[in-house]
Structure 1
Amino acid sequence: MNNSNKNKLFTAHCDKYGILPNGELFDLNSIKTRRNNNISIFGASGAGKTRSFVIPNILSAVNSYIVSDPKGNLYAQYADLMRKNGYKVIHIDLIHPESSDKYNPLCYVHDSDDACKLATQIVNLGYGGAKGTTDPFWDRAAELLLKSLIGLVMEDCLEVEHSINSISELLTKIEFEDDEEFSLNNSELNRIFERHASRYRKPFENSWAYDQYLKFKATPPRTLACIIITIQAMLGPFSSKGLNKMTSGLETIDLKAIGREKTIVFLGISDTDRSKDLLANIFYSQAMNELCNYADYKCKDSRLPVPVRFILDDFGTNCRIYGFENMISNIRSRDISAALILQSEAQLKHGYGESSHTIIDNCDTIIYMGGNDVQTAKMISERCNQPLQKILNMPIGTNWTFRRGEQPKYSETVDLSEYRIVEKGYRQKTG
């Protein structure tokens, strides 16, 4: 792209456009373009994914944004500027949770379906974001226990605080005995459930939490002990003072409001400490579900008043959205889109298995910024009909851009230093 065209693009009013790493703008009106706005970006560390795509698109101040923020640098550098642009700024800080805005996942458990989703997500992701087991019996039993404990909070049990840490504390109310005849009947947890069931008063309805607990009680004693210890390990990070304060109580951010008013959420999560990945993954999943439900039941034509873009760095590992492979096929109609930032196709497959192909297929824009992974290079080689060796030896600072309905484009990657930040988005640097 020559300089005159680049000047024209970046001095244009950007209210309806996103920005590609090659400096081009793309129309975000998915009804007009008949494309979705989902983007997969592949590139090795240092390829410029953040500088050429993430930052320009945030500062274009077009939509609402939910942004993965490794190390917390984006919040530190751009939060004030976004406020000046009229944005509500929310900071979910898992690096320093004691200074974070409040986020309590249990506030978004409205019914038994939500309780089931959260319990299944915790078990499927397991400790540290990795799936805990391949044993279906163990998984179902663990889900039953978690459903019952989450249900206690949902049903406003008088003996349970409104926090995930309280769920972990409930598990300590079981004293294990080295006895094959051991059962939950003599535990304090059993007494809590029975007291709750006796107090629960709804016409023609028993306590759902108690029903799940009764099903779990049939678990063999030795399996029961293993399940409880493993779930305590999964929920262990919530016991820290910072996370317990951040995730407790009824005060929490309004996820639906992100689709009503211009908002940017910075989710700060360490790229070296994986202990808080589970909470990050719960947040992304709940945000996606809350926005989809809000669009479906409260918005005209089931489209959000303010479109929401998820910009997700390290998507294959710490941005695991439970059920995302199904969601990405349908979010376009709600004016929701996702930019998935990855180092390689293998990284995506590690996080999503065979569903990784579904995710890529539902991105109408794919960007490749170079790397050493041969499988990713093969995918790009086939897409642009170029020799594999040429793709593997791409000069640093170049990229391939693929847009459905267009020929592939090979371009130089825009250097962020060529542009200056203004009150309303990006413009070409002058003088």
Structure 2
Amino acid sequence: MQRAALVKWLAIGILAITMLMVATMYPYGVLFVLVLAGGAALQPRYGTRAWMPAVLSVGLAVIFVFMTWSALNFRQEMKQVLSIKPGQSVPVESGPVRVNIGLMLSSTPFDKIPLPEKAGRAGLLGGVILGAILAVGYRQGTEHGPDRVHGLKVASGAAQKGTSRWAGDADVAKVAEFGPPKEGKYGGGTIVGKLRGRIVRLQPEKSKPPLPQHACVVAGTGAGKSFSFVIPNVVSAAMEGESVVVTDPKGELACTLGPWLKSKGYKVYLFNLGNPEWSMCWNPVMECQDDEEITAFATAIVQNAARDNSGYFVMKEIQLLKALIYLLRADFPVEQAHLRSALSLLSWPKEALDRRFSEAYRVGRLPQVGYEEWCGSVSSNYDNAVSGLTAKLGVVRAESVAKLLSRHEIDLSAIGREKAVLFCVLPIGAGHLKPVLASFYYFFFRRLYGLAAENGGRLPNPTRFILDEFANVGQIPGFVEVISTARSLGIKIQFVLQGLKQLQDVYGGPEAIMANCPIQLFLGGDDATTTRYFSSRLGEAAVYAESERKDVTMPWNRIEIPKRTETIVRRALMEPEELSRMDPMAAVCLVRWCLPMYLQKLGWTELPQSKDILSLAVAKLSELQPARPDVVVDLPEIPEGRNDEAPDRDRSFERGSDLNADGGIGDFLKSPKDEPENPDYL
């Protein structure tokens, strides 16, 4: 770094000496050098906008010199024409005026030079000055900027009218780095767009105290969430060496990014719910390790498969599913211990299933907690629980899903130990897969938390979750606790929604989750809840506003010039309706402890890594993941027998007293005709 800095300053010194020598000979010519050098210096910071002053200044200067030269030629020709006497037939020989460019550029204002060079010099200066004025006017005419809100100038010292405004480079520098992602410390970050031509990579860890990089991205249909957020941030994570878990609708991201990530030393995993022949398998039944995980898994399956995810019968279904999971893990071969077998067990005669539970418990294979769950589920309303759970497990009846969940091949904790990427490919219309996806991500977080606990509270390799179509993932058990504690473990969670209403529908209220997302990005959309939220969060600014006043009482008053007044008013940075019709290439970003940003979207093809990505991309998933041998789903054989009531027996010694057990007080109080319709009576 010291050698590079020395070379840099040496080059600057040589350039300065050269320009000084040129200035002594060509004081006006050096203006061109300064203007062009300024544009080149500012180009990395402001992009093509940096060349606007140079283009206007140089362009107008050349135009003005040409105009003065043309005027001199016209003057000479007119002088010669007027000098012809009446009746004179001698042709007039005339030629264009010659301008000595070297003399024009090397003269000083005090030198006496011929008229053509003097006129050219005047045109040169006039063009440069006018170009500079127009460039400044172009910059100040920006609709949104640190000193402009909808083209209105922001007033200073008027806090009573509003303190918000759009952020500039200096405001963002404390929480961001600029430029495309690169390798090294602070080389990654969260890419949110371009601020005045510069790529913004948010690095909240730079702030004091550091903030997590959790992000909520809201993008309506066609807003470019994959093109301008998902892919750029996968690239950014790779530049920083982070592992990545990304939800991939339709498998396009895996085809585009998978080969490039492999070339960067990443191990690529593919969990393909749409096409299982190009996927690795994962068995959630065998993933469970304790009662807490079995409970969370059963809850995720049942609650995400129903709109009404609470109530007595839902709890009975969860209890029954927990019992079946315990039995599958304890008393069935590994090949049959999967979720599709749980659906098969629901079709067993209750007497045969009860006998299987009892035998497994007596010989010590089934833990007591599993037998207790079975006794509780079979004590009452068993048929209701069976019918409800059978409907909710219908998602695993599909052969493709059943195959994926029948074997255990993915080590979820491996993502946190090494550089790896996992693409969770979703088919079109993946809403019915919410029970599977919610369970998958729940176990993912559990395994990473366990790995971090084994390594001093932090993952060996930081991991970033980029969850597109987050609403289709379903309700992940304990997600609010995860997003509030994940930063210290080296986990970043960034999810994409089509509207904040989706978050409310899934989790009941977005406040707890949004409060843990220091980065909130709006890429466009017309959801009323979303636009109202971002409008209120952007705040209001104090701006100068002009108004006209004219007295029209009498007819002759209409010809008077109106009086113009300027006042300071309160103006919202963006009203809800303005957000809904925002420029499709614009975005709005909120970052905690920073002024809001009005950005231009960044297409991933603008990144320097895009050339390599496009050259390595494949057209089909089969080119990334070879087709695997067909998976055979092994199911337990359904025993013969009638689906009648289990034999009456006293289970009090096994599970304690139960008011609703056969022969108990609850059974005595029940009507002999029918079961209670209101579960609150139980």
TM-score calculated relative to the size of structure 2: 0.56
CA distance in 2, matches of 1:388, 1:261: 44
**Residue by residue, what CA displacement relative to the aligned partner does 1:395-424 show, whole Å, maximum 9, x if unpaired?**
111011111111111011113332342699
Supply the AA of the counterpart residue of 2:347.
T
**Residue by residue, what CA displacement relative to the aligned partner does 1:7-48 show, whole Å, maximum 9, x if unpaired?**
861264365422223331123747976111100111211112
**Match status 1:216 vs 2:377:** yes
**Match status 1:69 vs 2:69:** no
1:322 to 465, 469, 477: 477
1:192 corresponds to which residue? Answer: 356
2:20 corresponds to which residue? Answer: none
1:122 corresponds to which residue? Answer: 301
2:326 to 151, 164, 170: 151
Contact residue 125 and residue 132 of structure 1 kept, 8 A: no
**Match status 1:263 vs 2:420:** yes
CA distance in 2, matches of 1:335, 1:425: 27
CA distance in 2, matches of 1:319, 1:140: 18
Secondary structure, aligned partner of 2:393: helix
CA distance in 2, matches of 1:46, 1:239: 33
Deviation at 1:334, TM superposition (A): 0.9
Residues 62-211 of structure 1 correspond to what in structure 2 (within 5 A)? 62=240, 63-126=242-305, 130-134=306-310, 136-157=311-332, 161-174=336-349, 184=350, 187-200=351-364, 206-211=367-372
Contact residue 257 and residue 613 of structure 2 kept, 8 A: no
1:20 corresponds to which residue? Answer: 192
CA distance in 2, matches of 1:166, 1:392: 48
Residues 294-305 of structure 1 correspond to what in structure 2 (within 5 A)? 294-296=451-453, 298-300=454-456, 302-305=457-460
Supply the AA of the counterpart residue of 1:81.
W
Supply the AA of the counterpart residue of 2:370.
A
CA distance in 2, matches of 1:146, 1:349: 27
CA distance in 1, matches of 2:356, 2:181: 64
**Match status 1:341 vs 2:496:** yes
Deviation at 1:320, TM superposition (A): 3.4
Supply the AA of the counterpart residue of 1:260.
R
Secondary structure, aligned partner of 2:336: coil
Contact residue 30 and residue 332 of structure 1 kept, 8 A: no
Secondary structure, aligned partner of 2:609: strand
Deviation at 1:72, TM superposition (A): 1.0
**Residue by residue, what CA displacement relative to the aligned partner does 1:99-129 show, whole Å, maximum 9, x if unpaired?**
3101111222111121111111112212xxx
Contact residue 310 and residue 337 of structure 1 kept, 8 A: yes
Contact residue 152 and residue 160 of structure 1 kept, 8 A: no
2:390 corresponds to which residue? Answer: 232
1:404 corresponds to which residue? Answer: 592
Secondary structure, aligned partner of 1:321: coil
CA distance in 1, matches of 2:419, 2:183: 17
Q: Percent same amino acid at aligned positions?
A: 28
1:178 corresponds to which residue? Answer: none
Deviation at 1:140, TM superposition (A): 1.9
CA distance in 1, matches of 2:362, 2:46: 70
Deviation at 1:277, TM superposition (A): 2.5
Contact residue 153 and residue 160 of structure 1 kept, 8 A: no
CA distance in 1, matches of 2:442, 2:593: 31
**Match status 1:54 vs 2:244:** no
Cα gap change, 1:76/1:160 in structure 2, threshold over 3 Å: closer, same or farther? closer
Secondary structure, aligned partner of 1:311: strand
1:388 to 566, 573, 576: 576
CA distance in 1, matches of 2:267, 2:604: 25
Cα gap change, 1:219/1:30 in structure 2, threshold over 3 Å: closer, same or farther? farther
**Residue by residue, what CA displacement relative to the aligned partner does 1:366-387 show, whole Å, maximum 9, x if unpaired?**
1111211122111111111223
Deviation at 1:306, TM superposition (A): 0.8
2:60 corresponds to which residue? Answer: none
Deviation at 1:91, TM superposition (A): 0.5
Residues 347-426 of structure 1 correspond to what in structure 2 (within 5 A)? 347-354=502-509, 356-385=510-539, 386=573, 387-421=575-609
Supply the AA of the counterpart residue of 1:244.
A
Contact residue 283 and residue 405 of structure 2 kept, 8 A: yes
Cα gap change, 1:198/1:424 in structure 2, threshold over 3 Å: closer, same or farther? farther
Contact residue 98 and residue 245 of structure 1 kept, 8 A: no
Contact residue 304 and residue 474 of structure 2 kept, 8 A: no
Supply the AA of the counterpart residue of 2:424.
L
TM-score calculated relative to the size of structure 1: 0.86
Supply the AA of the counterpart residue of 1:119.
A
Secondary structure, aligned partner of 2:402: helix
